[in-house]
Structure 1
């Protein structure tokens, strides 16, 4: 479980997060939603210790500030919204970096097996020896997600993982994340803009507006016309299709 208490973040005179208290449940998919500038990516970065902030973050009862970087990398993995590689790497080399916290530079047979499995999960088998800069935006995104999967941490934090992806691969990744939670006991935290994906695949939703917490509840509690209007200042209708909640929105 991740517990965040009184989280704040300021850039100069601008307060981008203020007084956020929230809990992220284990073995579940939790999605952060909100309009642009709501503070979703900043909160995810503070929770993952990629960014400093005010307040306290605890993972399984231990302050995140007390973890050595090498220890934290075995427990929590994070995909940023934008990713850049300073050297020319193949897909396989990139994904292999996910094993670094476990084996450093000496990859074992088990490490190599996990790398190939992660590449396979993303349907990137035929791109294993392809350089990252030769891939499309969507293919590159899938390669980075494969690297996170190869890291094999209990907590997986992903900032806009569906960026640049078509519908097929977006569904593929959301289904994979559900499998990681339901069958492998992982805990997944996402930032998503697509409300329908959030509604369909999340157990819990955290809604933010102007750097403040609006609601932390189950998908059924947060994905309602009333709650979504608070988040986006727009009217929504909610439909049930084959047991799945879908949102239609209009001004």
Structure 2
């Protein structure tokens, strides 16, 4: 379980996040949704300890992230931010190998290679593993970064807008693979999404944010209502029943 207790982050007198208190259950996929500037990425980054909270506490799997050793925490949670820019020219396999650093400290063992192989196969990258990142399409590159995170072999996986810059086909493929990671690998996936329909279809739980606060938290059918989405996104939304569940229609 991930627990946030009165977590705040203040940037200025006009811009602040929190206090945020929430519990994210172990297992499955939890989607963070909300309008731009709601605080989704900030909260995810604080959970991943890439950004320090000004107040409050965050625990991941029983570990207080403020006091747990970095090496220990890196075996519990992994995080992929939006800014995935490596200045060094890397192959897909080299990139995925970085996910093993918390375990290998740079000296890959046979066990590390096994995890790298598994992550590459899981993301269907075997035919691309010797290609350089700058030779890949945006969708292929994004899959490589997610493979790196999965190779880290942590129970908790945090992903900040992994569908960014993906077309519809590749966005669907990515969400299917994250669903498989939760179901087949037993990972707890927490993902920031802009598209609430993707959240409704693939996530087990949705945490909706607005103006730096958590305003709704529940199963997709609890969040996917006209009233809730209209209030969260500040625009009129109608929820209709599609062939595979509720869909939000924006006006």
Q: TM-score, normalised by structure 2?
A: 0.94
| Counterpart contact for 1:98–1:150, Cα < 8 Å | yes
Are 2:64 and 1:67 aligned?
A: no
Instruction: Give RMSD over aligned pairs.
Output: 1.5
Dislocated runs of 4+, deviation >4 Å: none
Q: CA deviation at 1:247?
A: 1.5
Q: Does 1:50 align with 2:39?
A: no
| Structure 2 segments unaligned to the other structure (5+ residues) | none
Match of 1:34 in 2: 34
> For residue 5 of structure 2, what is the aligned residue in structure 1?
5
Match of 1:21 in 2: 21
Please say if residues 141 and 164 of structure 1, whose CA atoms lie closer than 8 Å, have aligned partners that are also in contact.
no
1:155-170 to 2 correspondence within 5 Å?
Answer: 155-170=156-171
**Alpha carbons 1:31, 1:198 under 8 Å: kept:** yes
Q: How far is 1:160 from its partner?
A: 0.3
Task: Describe how 1:40-189 pairs up with structure 2 within 5 A.
Answer: 40-53=40-53, 54-189=55-190
Q: Which whole-Å CA distance do the structure 1 matches of 2:146 and 2:250 have between them?
A: 30
Secondary structure of 1:169's aligned partner: helix
Shift of residue 121, structure 1, vs aligned partner: 2.4
The number of equivalent residue pairs is: 250
Deviation at 1:238, TM superposition (A): 1.7
CA contact (8 A) 1:35 1:231 kept: yes
Q: Give the whole-Å Cα distance in 2 for the aligned partners of 1:109 and 1:161.
A: 29
Secondary structure of the residue aligned to 1:181 is helix
**Deviation, structure 1 residue 165:** 1.8
Contact kept, 8 Å, 1:38 with 1:211, in 2: the verdict is yes
Correspondence for 1:237? 238
Equivalent residue, structure 2, for 1:196:
197
Contiguous gaps of at least 5 residues in structure 1: none
